[in-house]
């Protein structure tokens, strides 16, 4: 099949780019297009996306005017504290704190939020540029970038002192780099490995994504360069992560990225674990719950409550002993009750696609998810300040302290915006299904180019329910890869329909 036959979509893209290259010759060459002409042509070609980008930037500027201070979450205090003393955190890695440390000379939490809003715009730009590179028309790539740039959920998270925006930015950059060439050069594989390592040190969710990227690379096997790229990616990923683990070991006495894995995994199985089926050894029996399964609380209770069994272990729930006992107990529970575990993970994964704003309080899990989503919304009035013990950290970082004023009329505009412009759960489900449809259409090519972004998003959505708990903020990083996969999926489905129509028009021999 000749993909460059006259009249084919790929031939049109090649011809357009050839013409662009000819026009972008240096101005001193005969026939070169003047700079104003090139600017005008660029504006025409990307005008629709430019308007979308300006609108997205305007919403973020209004959000900063209405809420000049950074929004705070309980995790925010520890991020700032570790940015001040720069040591590996016991509960979560210190990658985000490293970014705060780099921005510390500015002495402004508002500047951190501005950088995060710029990252949000950068994620949308990366998605659009990648889709244009893959041959989508301007309107199609712009439509795919709209949920990324305009969703109030993303803008809310960008306004928090939380690691999610940096994590999403690093991953989308890695996806775009890997997909920019059909056969990624070795240096691109190195860049992707470095970005994945940085993401893993921001949030440990990034560690399993190395397998996804390696699988995508190997599927497109192109000889020695693919092997070299895979080896380089692994090496570049392993060096920073291993270096961080060694640093963690020097402080906490164990070669890990965090000390909380066992505690989180234990909390995951508490909703179904039955010690009569698990039959744990004596050392782990202290973790058995006497409460019937039907009366148990959410996993977070058994992680943070002072009365939870893991907190009775010497050294606390994040100590070495608790980590070992919690991990072993959880793995025994999963092996003994695999269907209960899969049912629990599936139930929490399904939460990603529910319309939480309409959930009824009588349904425990959706009600909890709806309340959690409300925690991230812009407030109508200034929220309560953080606990007094957190004040020294915030004042040491920013002389204004943890100031969270609400300024009208801008705040009122943002409150109205966040009520309507969101990527709600059902819409996210549709976007995911469209991407899956593209993978099915391109099954002969093992999913085609949509495979990497779709699997990246799937891993981001599955890992939290599988190892800890559901939280709506974890979905923000999956939106951009899913939108890219869905746009490619539409392109694949449209191409199949065109080939089908062309086949029907051919006369019988």
pLDDT at 327: 92
Identify the helix (H) or strand (E) that includes residue 455.
Answer: helix 451-467
Q: What's the pLDDT score for residue 234?
A: 96
More confident of the two residues 158 and 12:
158
Joined tokens for residue 467: 């190892």
170 against 502, higher pLDDT: 170
What pLDDT sits at residue 325?
Answer: 92
Higher pLDDT, 335 or 447: 335
- Burial label for 234, CB within 10 Å (0-12, 13-18, 19+), is middle
Lowest-pLDDT choice from 197-206, 360-369, 386-395: 360-369
pTM above threshold 0.75: yes
Q: Which of 478, 479, 208, 471 is nearest to 348 (CA)?
A: 471
Residues 6+ apart with CB under 8 A from 131: 140, 141, 144, 145, 484, 487, 488
Domain boundaries along the sequence of the chain:
9-257+372-504, 261-349
If one compares 278 and 366, the residue with the highest pLDDT of the two is 278
Q: Which residue has the higher pLDDT, 292 or 63?
A: 63
- pLDDT over 50 at 10, yes or no: no
| C-alpha–C-alpha distance, residues 438 and 505, integer Å | 24
pLDDT at 81 over 60: yes
| Nearest partner of 262 among 214, 345, 329, judged by Cα | 329
Cβ(457)–Cβ(478) under 8 Å?
Answer: yes
Residues 6+ apart with CB under 8 A from 505: none
pLDDT tens by residue, 220-246: 877 788 899 999 999 999 999 999 999
Q: What is the DSSP letter of 314?
A: T
Q: Identify the CA nearest to 309 among candidates 322, 298, 320.
A: 322
Q: Where would I find the beta strands (DSSP E) of 399-450?
A: none
As given in the structure block, the two tokens for residue 170 are 């690093």
pLDDT band at 360 (very low <50, low <70, confident <90, very high): very low
Note the pLDDT of residue 507: 59
pLDDT tier at 1, thresholds 50, 70, 90: very low
**What number is the average pLDDT over the span 399-416?**
91
Number of separate helices (H) and strands (E) present in the chain: 23, 0
Pick 376 or 121 by higher pLDDT.
121
* Least-confidence region, from 113-127, 128-142, 414-428, 442-456: 442-456
Average pLDDT, the chain: 86
**Predicted confidence (pLDDT) at residue 67 exceeds the cutoff of 80:** yes
Helix, coil or strand: residue 166: helix
For residue range 152-207, what is the model confidence (pLDDT) as tens digits? Answer: 999 999 999 999 999 999 999 999 999 999 889 999 999 999 999 999 999 999 99
Q: How many Cα atoms are found within 13 Å in the side-chain-facing hemisphere of 448?
A: 23
Measured CA to CA, the distance from residue 467 to residue 138 in angstroms comes to 39
Q: Give residue 47's Cα distance to chain centre.
A: 28
Query: Positive or negative CA dihedral for 236, 456, 11, 44?
Result: negative
pLDDT of 27 above 80? no
Ramachandran category for residue 280: left, alpha or beta (phi over 0 → left; psi -120 to 50 → alpha): beta
Res 241: pLDDT = 96
Asked whether the predicted pLDDT for residue 505 surpasses 80, the reply is no
Q: How does residue 16 score in pLDDT terms, banded at 50, 70 and 90?
A: low
Indicate the SS3 state at residue 5.
coil
- Give the pLDDT score at 3: 41
Residue 98 pLDDT level (bands cut at 50, 70, 90): very high
Residue-level pLDDT at 504: 67
How does residue 110 score in pLDDT terms, banded at 50, 70 and 90? very high
Q: Which of 175-189, 345-359, 466-480 has the highest mean pLDDT?
A: 175-189
Higher pLDDT, 297 or 6: 297
Confidence of residue 373 (pLDDT cuts 50, 70, 90): low
User: pLDDT at residue 400 above 70?
Assistant: yes
Q: What is the largest CA-CA distance in the chain?
A: 85
Question: For residue 160, what is the DSSP state?
Answer: B
Helix, strand or coil for residue 71? strand
Name residue, tokens 């963690």.
248
Inform me whether the pLDDT recorded for 131 exceeds 60: yes
d(CA 501, CA 222) in angstroms, rounded, equals 33
Look at residue 4 in the predicted model and tell me its pLDDT. 42
Q: Coil, strand or helix: which one is 407? A: coil
pLDDT of residue 385: 84
pLDDT of 372 higher than 80: no
pLDDT of res. 493: 85
């Amino acid at each position: 099949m000749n993909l460059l036959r006259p009249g084919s979509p790929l031939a049109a893209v090649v011809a357009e780019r050839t013409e662009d290259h000819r026009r972008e010759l240096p101005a001193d060459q005969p026939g070169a297009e003047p700079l104003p002409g090139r600017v005008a042509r660029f504006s025409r070609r990307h005008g629709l996306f430019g308007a979308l980008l300006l609108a997205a930037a305007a919403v973020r500027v209004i959000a900063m005017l209405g809420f000049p201070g950074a929004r705070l979450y309980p995790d925010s205090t520890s991020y700032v504290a570790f940015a001040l003393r720069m040591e590996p955190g016991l509960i979560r890695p210190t990658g985000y704190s490293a970014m705060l440390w780099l921005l510390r000379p500015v002495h402004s939490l508002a500047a951190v939020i501005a950088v995060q809003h710029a990252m949000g715009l950068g994620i949308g730009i990366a998605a659009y540029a990648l889709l244009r590179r893959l041959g989508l028309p301007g309107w199609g790539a712009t439509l795919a970038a709209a949920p990324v740039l305009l969703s109030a959920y993303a803008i809310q998270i960008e306004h928090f002192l939380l690691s999610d925006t940096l994590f999403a930015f690093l991953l989308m950059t890695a996806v775009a780099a890997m997909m920019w060439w059909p056969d990624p050069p070795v240096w691109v594989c190195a860049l992707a490995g470095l970005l994945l390592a940085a993401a893993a040190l921001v949030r440990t969710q990034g560690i399993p994504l190395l397998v996804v990227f390696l699988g995508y690379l190997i599927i497109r096997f192109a000889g020695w360069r693919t092997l070299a790229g895979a080896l380089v990616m692994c090496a570049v990923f392993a060096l920073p992560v291993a270096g961080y683990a060694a640093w963690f070991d020097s402080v906490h006495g164990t070669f890990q990225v965090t000390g909380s894995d066992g505690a989180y995994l234990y909390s995951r199985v508490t909703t179904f674990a039955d010690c009569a089926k698990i039959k744990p050894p004596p050392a782990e029996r202290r973790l058995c719950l006497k409460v019937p399964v039907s009366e148990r609380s959410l996993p977070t209770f058994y992680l943070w409550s002072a009365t939870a069994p893991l907190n009775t272990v010497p050294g606390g729930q994040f100590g070495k002993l608790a980590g070992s006992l919690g991990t072993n107990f959880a793995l025994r529970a999963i092996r003994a009750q695999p269907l209960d575990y899969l049912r629990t993970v599936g139930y929490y994964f399904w939460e990603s696609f529910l319309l939480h704003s309409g959930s009824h309080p009588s349904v425990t899990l959706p009600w909890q998810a709806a309340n959690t989503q409300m925690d991230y919304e812009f407030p109508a009035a200034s929220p309560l300040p953080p606990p007094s013990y957190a004040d020294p950290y915030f004042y040491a970082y920013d002389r204004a302290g943890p100031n969270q004023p609400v300024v009208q009329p801008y705040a009122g505009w943002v409150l109205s915006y966040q009520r309507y412009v969101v990527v709600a759960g059902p819409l996210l489900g549709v976007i995911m299904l469209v991407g899956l449809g593209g993978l099915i259409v391109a099954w002969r090519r093992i999913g085609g180019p949509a495979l990497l972004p779709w699997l990246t998003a799937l891993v981001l959505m599955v890992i939290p329910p599988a190892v800890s708990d559901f939280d709506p903020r974890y979905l923000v990083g999956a939106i951009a890869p899913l939108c890219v996969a869905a746009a490619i999926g539409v392109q694949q489905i449209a191409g199949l329909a065109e080939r089908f129509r062309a086949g029907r028009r051919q006369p019988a021999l």
